[in-house]
Amino acid sequence: MSALAFALLALLLVGPVPTLLARSSWPMRAPRAAIVLWQSIAVAAVLSAFSAGLAIASRLFIPGPTGRPTATITSEIAVLGWPLWLAYVLVLTLTLLIGGRLVVAVLQVAIATRRRRAHHRMVVDLLGECRHGMSGLRVLDVAAPLAYCLPGVRSRVVLSEGTLSALTDTELTAILSHERAHLRARHDLVLEAFVAVHTAFPRFVRSASALDAVRLLVEMLADDAAVRTAGPAPLARALVACASARTPAGALAAGGPTTVVRVRRLSGRPNSLLLSLGAYVAAAVLLVAPTVAVAVPWLTELHRLLSA
């Protein structure tokens, strides 16, 4: 029952739950808390998948005739029977494959992203011009307005001549605050984790809702930081000016396809402390309550088997 409960919980957390949460509008009024909730869903899904495999593994060592756990494949088959034994081994194998895919996905995403950023940073440093005495700012001789940042140890904020021409000083301050908020909070690491989890789970159970929602939420967090510096109106005008700019791979851009939603949010209701508190509580409950409710009986049984 523990294995079944863990497996069902994992399936819910990688499919229906992200889809329902992505359709909700309240995260726009509590973006930081919503990201924490998304993170708790991702962590709970991974832990549930692993726990299902461990629970299955414990059933491969059920008590034999003497009451002690079986210790050989033949004795396990004799007690469980071929169909049940094969089912347990299959589920355990799939769980281990997901764990292996998660490790590989984390490494692949991290290595590939950093290579792209390093190459792009080299190009920007060669072609861009340092302005205002800021070593981390590069201005490209491009007519179209664009603004993005390259996170990392040697981070860069990249603007174009078109951006400098199109924006006023206040709007420019807003767009710079937006990009620096990304760099300061390391939103890129949050996104990398969700990309890795999304890649690790099989396509027929995973949902792209979590990744898309978190991408939008980190932009909203950066928007909030810019609003505190320059106000909502200058930021809205700056976002509209940079809306059509393409985002380089591995970068975080101010514009993009979510600009309309974010601009509307700037003129809507402010962030809600009550919604944030509710999201934090839900995140804590999601991580603690199901795990305790399902894990305690399984751990008790495992302790009984090992001490028999």
d(CA 135, CA 233): 28
Do the beta carbons of residue 46 and residue 30 sit within 8 Å? no
Q: Which two tokens stand for residue 279?
A: 């999201």
- What local confidence, expressed as pLDDT, does residue 208 receive? 76
Residue 298 reports pLDDT greater than 60: yes
- Which pLDDT value is given to residue 158? 94
Range 272-295 average pLDDT:
86
The position carrying tokens 């005008």 is: 237
Provide, rounded to the nearest whole percent, the portion of the chain with pLDDT above 70. 83
**153 phi and psi, to 5 degrees?**
-65, -45
Q: Point out the least confidently predicted range of 86-100, 137-151, 276-290.
A: 86-100
Residue 69: what pLDDT? 56
Task: Please report how many Cα atoms fall inside a 13 Å half-sphere around the Cα of residue 173, on the Cβ side.
Answer: 11
Q: Is the pLDDT of residue 308 over 60?
A: no
Looking at per-residue pLDDT, the higher value among 118 and 288 belongs to 118
Q: What is the pLDDT of residue 250?
A: 83
Please, what's the b/e burial string for 38-64 (b: 16 or more CB within 10 A of its CB; e: otherwise)?
A: bbbbbbbbbbbbbbbbbbbbbbbbeeb
Q: Residue for token digits 């007519």? A: 143
Q: Tell me which of 106-115, 160-169, 289-298 is least confident.
A: 289-298
Q: What is the pLDDT of residues 21-69, one digit of tens each?
A: 989 999 999 999 999 999 999 888 888 877 777 777 666 666 555 555 5
Decide if pLDDT at 1 tops 60.
no
| CA dihedral angle for residue 187, residue 253, residue 44, residue 92, rounded to 10 degrees | -110
pLDDT at 3 over 80: no
Q: pLDDT at residue 159 above 90?
A: yes
**Residues sharing a CB contact under 8 Å with residue 110, sequence separation 6 or more, in sequence order:** 192
| 206-246 confidence digits (pLDDT tens) | 667 888 899 999 999 999 999 999 999 999 999 999 998 88
> What are φ and ψ of residue 128, in 5° steps?
-85, 165
Full-model pTM: 0.84
CA–CA separation, 1 and 253 (whole Å): 47
How many Å apart are CA 34 and CA 26, to the nearest integer? 9
Residue range 124-131: mean pLDDT, rounded: 88
Structure-token match 């399902």, residue found: 294
Q: How many CB atoms lie within 10 A of CB 228?
A: 10
Q: Which contacts of 266-269 are long-range, i.e. CB under 8 A and separated by 24 or more positions?
A: 266/223, 266/227, 266/232, 266/233, 266/235, 266/236, 267/232, 267/236, 268/28, 269/29
